Amino acid sequence: MKPHDFVEILIQADGSVCAKDLLEVSLHLPRRGTRWVASFRDETGRQVWRTTGLRDREPALALAKEWEADAKRKRAAQGAVPPSLAIRVRPGSTALSQKEVAAILRISERAVRQIEKTAIEKLRRHPVLKDIWRELGTGEIKETAFRDSSQWMLSREEIAAVYALARTPAERQALRKLLALIAA
């Protein structure tokens, strides 16, 4: 894309222009390398560096542009991605903190953050959830879409078994919060 192409896009745009719309594939030759590496945005919008495996610039550029066009088609097919939601836990709430989740699962807080990030990203892109959000936005959702939560209730024996797994006071506190959330 040449500078005058950028100017044309900015002039013809009705509103603001996203920087992601202006970016395109670029090629790089590593300092001691002989094969071109492409940099482009994948179907999720993230920047990807991928080797073309080619030594000639023109065929490498053609291949990289093909990858970028494929990613753009996939992004367009996905439709609009719902905005990222911020989940905030207030002091005194019954929600579990990352420290408490880490204590229950016996993993690090960093691992909990990474798992949460991955899970939320998967949920944002799930086609069924996208349909539900779309229906909620238009007011067309039916009450029968929500299942009865009684099928997920734990019996006293199950609660006792889960509570017996707690080894530390932090784990017991986290389980008490978790059970309170389930009972609510």
pLDDT on residue 145: 47
Handedness of CA 103, 105, 107, 111 (dihedral sign): negative
Give the mean pLDDT of the chain: 76
Handedness of CA 156, 157, 162, 164 (dihedral sign): positive
Residue ranges covered by each domain of the chain: 3-78, 98-183
Distance CA 121, CA 115 (A): 10
Please report, for residues 169, 175, 182, the alpha-carbon distance to residue 110 in angstroms, rounded to integers and kept in the order given: 21, 20, 25
- When pLDDT is averaged across residues 147-164 and rounded to a whole number, the result is 68
- When pLDDT is averaged across residues 5-33 and rounded to a whole number, the result is 73
DSSP reduced 3-state for 96 = coil
pLDDT on residue 102: 85
